[in-house]
Structure 1
């Protein structure tokens, strides 16, 4: 099982944000807890089950073992990870 963090490309409130996603929701929640992200920050949407992380938290996630994925370099993997997150958001996967 793997936790992924995409590029920090989404500007919001003066920062750049990325998405923290995982193969399973249990792994996603456990990893977010290790980062100190409260469960209330979980976004369980049809657009994809994820946590938003800023650039600094993205770097911490990578240091803790999250796999950095790039929409530019890893297109097929990014599409697969996002498809899985969307299915999780719809309740189709654990």
Structure 2
């Protein structure tokens, strides 16, 4: 079981954002709690595409806490695999 952060750097105001996903909802929420991301920011909850958009500062914390860095292409493959399991 794994948490993933992609290499997207989408602008959002003065911040750059990326995606954080996980193999399970529990893992995703546990990582959000660990790095200080509020659960209310969970997007597409209950779907294979549930994720958080997180700032680069939170991304660094996630990686330090064990998240795996992936490309956007790799993240797409992970999400398709989750969809196919559902």
TM normalised by structure 1 equals 0.76
1:58 counterpart SS class:
helix
Q: Which residue number corresponds to residue 63 of structure 2?
A: 62
Per the alignment, residue 53 of structure 1 pairs with 54
Q: Does 1:7 align with 2:14?
A: no
Structure 1 unmatched runs, 5+: none
| TM value normalised by structure 2 | 0.82
What do residues 3-24 of structure 1 show as CA deviations (whole Å, max 9, x unaligned)? 0000141111121100110011
Aligned-residue Cα RMSD (Å) equals: 2.1
Runs of 4+ in structure 1 off by over 4 angstroms are none
May I ask how many residue pairs the two structures share in their alignment? 84
Query: Which segments of 5 or more consecutive residues in structure 2 lack a partner in the other structure?
Result: none
Q: Which structure carries more strand by proportion? A: 1
